[in-house]
Structure 1
């Protein structure tokens, strides 16, 4: 059999490459004669830089940037095609995984480090900048990015506003031209895995704020501050709130498209095209995809859905593996997922699940291989 292993990362647990390797090892334990092709994926979130840079035959570079809470951290960007293509992701510089669970602060977390990363990439004069959204710790509407790129976001005293979504409350004037000029002549393509709007009950603060440390009062404040930011830039003829994906990465989606002129594209489609996944799937007998959680929401722009659609078009069955399996999978089945299974063998704590994830992936894959070969011999 020829097996294509095309997983996403298990966020805050395993990289996509680690997930793919564990699945491949497990399958080989039961069927060493099978051909296994490992193709780590990403949907715009954590791992997009590595997946795309490697797929394009490029190189990774590490620089010091501003972390979500103002600390200095190291983050990577990629360069490919003789430096004509640069690849960055929000998760590298402003990611939720950069902040310990107990220290998460949705009000204060800034996207400035992502702006630092953009500046580092721009020094190499790329013609195209690919930017992955997802996995952010921030809800500042991309204000930190704009500030890093030279925008002047000022309060009533003419001082730069403070960091994070909380800082937007003091915003009185926005001089955005310096940031816009930084990207003149550069094609900005943004890999976006969600369609949430910037504001309201389905917006950046309400839907994603709680996982970034926001309580109910914080969510209300963040939503109001983002609305204030939106109104102020709208007075300059710019729209950061009315389109799908404007709420991605705490509102960064709205800013990169509405102010910086980016083209938003489903992240998984962009990555699958870059790694030429369709060519591999057409010659496969089975595809295995994986993500930390597989549920009804996975059908909307996530890796399992993208892989399933592509496999369905090629007439190849797809198995999904995950740590957490949702109750409603009909939306995923409708786009081509054959079946999905949790790798967790018994009720355990989240900490235990993270610690055993690699071993559980390997065991589950081995059992799938045994079942598949048993059925093929009938």
Structure 2
């Protein structure tokens, strides 16, 4: 028996690595001599650093950086192959770093993301894999760029302050103090949204509310992003507005594309490429994937579907495990998942189901029972 495990985290319960280890034990309960390959999985958001470092055998680096509110926070990123940095922007400017009563995208900054990039450059990194999910910001990425030496000045020649509210005061952009090695860096950015920088479908109007913005603030933030886009186009002849994904992470997408020459890629496709999934999947008997909740969003291209599509290409059956699965007819089977199962064996509260010990118990038990069935029909 040769099994590949590529499962996302059960968010709030167990990590991808913990889930993979538990499933391995469940398989070994039935097939003691099974060959099991574990590829911890993420889709470019939370858990991406941990997963990619685990697969590629890199190291984790923790650095004190400027958090979204301007206060210092501890942020962790990964380095693999000695020259490739894996960064989740949420480590430096994520929504969980901002208490609910302090959420204000007019003030929050991406400066810490730039500090992580600068630190990685100083450690010899020139290749970057960046996950854009979960920001608390709407500053168009100027905070990140300021930390890398880009200057954004008002009409008096003063550097703009932090936050999306400062963008309306942008008058000029100076490039003479940019970190000299930035031009030698390559950025691959995991991004699964196609929003433009501003307008009705832009960063402020689509994501501002969840970051704490009122309707009035959203209108002002959008005005700032429009002004920012126009100044960049006039002075640098760069169109950072209309590119799909420019509005990701409060405009960080625009900054990565326009100023750092980044390529925006599907999160799961990027991760599967980095962990070399296609190489590992060939010749296995089963692939096990899943996440905490399988639903319509999963079918829209989240991690399990990316795995399933690749497995289908090589005619490998795919088993998906989750705490919660769809009720009624699902399209998951149409997207390459052979069979999906909930690991819950009895009614329980959400808090009980999210308990990591409970999840681990049910995940191992479900896996064991599935492979008992497989063994009984393949004798």
TM-score interval for Structure 1 and Structure 2 normalised by the shorter chain = 0.7 to 0.9
What is the rounded CA distance, in whole Å, between the counterparts of 1:206 and 1:327 in structure 2?
32
What is the rounded CA distance, in whole Å, between the counterparts of 2:72 and 2:274 in structure 1?
31
Structure 1 residue 332: deviation in Å? Answer: 4.3
1:144 equivalent to 2:143? Answer yes
Structure 1 residue 335: deviation in Å? Answer: 3.1
Relative to structure 1, is the Cα distance of residues 367 and 291 closer, same or farther in structure 2, using a 3 angstrom cutoff?
closer
Relative to structure 1, is the Cα distance of residues 365 and 145 closer, same or farther in structure 2, using a 3 angstrom cutoff?
same
Structure 1 residue 116: deviation in Å? Answer: 0.5
What is the rounded CA distance, in whole Å, between the counterparts of 2:290 and 2:185 in structure 1?
34
- Verify the 8 A CA contact 2:23 2:367 in the aligned structure 1: no
Matches within 5 A, 1:74-89: 74-81=74-81, 83-89=82-88
2:273 alignment counterpart = 273
Structure 1 residue 239: deviation in Å? Answer: 1.8
Q: Secondary structure at the match of 1:136?
A: coil
Structure 1 residue 78: deviation in Å? Answer: 2.7
What is the rounded CA distance, in whole Å, between the counterparts of 1:27 and 1:104 in structure 2?
45
What is the rounded CA distance, in whole Å, between the counterparts of 1:242 and 1:328 in structure 2?
39
What is the rounded CA distance, in whole Å, between the counterparts of 1:209 and 1:7 in structure 2?
31
Relative to the length of structure 2, the TM-score reads 0.85
What is the rounded CA distance, in whole Å, between the counterparts of 1:216 and 1:357 in structure 2?
39
Structure 1 residue 372: deviation in Å? Answer: 4.5
Relative to structure 1, is the Cα distance of residues 326 and 142 closer, same or farther in structure 2, using a 3 angstrom cutoff?
farther
Query: Which digits, 9 at most, give the CA deviation of each residue in 1:208-235, with x for residues without a partner?
Result: 3333334444443333322222222122
1:59 alignment counterpart = 59
What is the rounded CA distance, in whole Å, between the counterparts of 1:126 and 1:166 in structure 2?
32
Structure 1 residue 301: deviation in Å? Answer: 4.6
Query: Which digits, 9 at most, give the CA deviation of each residue in 1:252-279, with x for residues without a partner?
Result: 1111011211122223223222322223
Matches within 5 A, 1:203-352: 203-236=202-235, 237-323=237-323, 325=325, 332-343=332-343, 346=347, 348-349=349-350
Runs of 4+ in 1 over 6 A off after TM superposition: none
2:196 alignment counterpart = 197
- Verify the 8 A CA contact 2:13 2:359 in the aligned structure 1: no
- Verify the 8 A CA contact 1:12 1:97 in the aligned structure 2: no
Structure 1 residue 11: deviation in Å? Answer: 4.2
Relative to structure 1, is the Cα distance of residues 169 and 327 closer, same or farther in structure 2, using a 3 angstrom cutoff?
farther
Identify the range of structure 1 (139-148 vs 103-112) with the bigger mean alpha-carbon deviation: 103-112
- Verify the 8 A CA contact 1:198 1:204 in the aligned structure 2: yes
- Verify the 8 A CA contact 2:19 2:363 in the aligned structure 1: no
Structure 1 residue 337: deviation in Å? Answer: 2.2
Relative to structure 1, is the Cα distance of residues 96 and 125 closer, same or farther in structure 2, using a 3 angstrom cutoff?
same
Structure 2 gap ranges (5+): none
Identify the range of structure 1 (7-16 vs 247-256) with the bigger mean alpha-carbon deviation: 7-16
Q: Secondary structure at the match of 1:259?
A: helix
Relative to structure 1, is the Cα distance of residues 291 and 164 closer, same or farther in structure 2, using a 3 angstrom cutoff?
farther
2:71 alignment counterpart = 71
1:184 alignment counterpart = 183
Q: Secondary structure at the match of 2:184?
A: coil
What is the rounded CA distance, in whole Å, between the counterparts of 1:105 and 1:26 in structure 2?
46
Q: Secondary structure at the match of 1:46?
A: coil
1:132 alignment counterpart = 131
What is the rounded CA distance, in whole Å, between the counterparts of 1:223 and 1:203 in structure 2?
8
What is the rounded CA distance, in whole Å, between the counterparts of 2:339 and 2:80 in structure 1?
36
Superposed CA RMSD: 3.0
1:367 alignment counterpart = 366
Identify the range of structure 1 (187-196 vs 229-238) with the bigger mean alpha-carbon deviation: 187-196
Relative to structure 1, is the Cα distance of residues 172 and 3 closer, same or farther in structure 2, using a 3 angstrom cutoff?
same
Relative to the length of structure 1, the TM-score reads 0.85
Relative to structure 1, is the Cα distance of residues 5 and 187 closer, same or farther in structure 2, using a 3 angstrom cutoff?
same
- Verify the 8 A CA contact 2:40 2:52 in the aligned structure 1: no
Structure 1 gap ranges (5+): none
Structure 1 residue 75: deviation in Å? Answer: 1.6
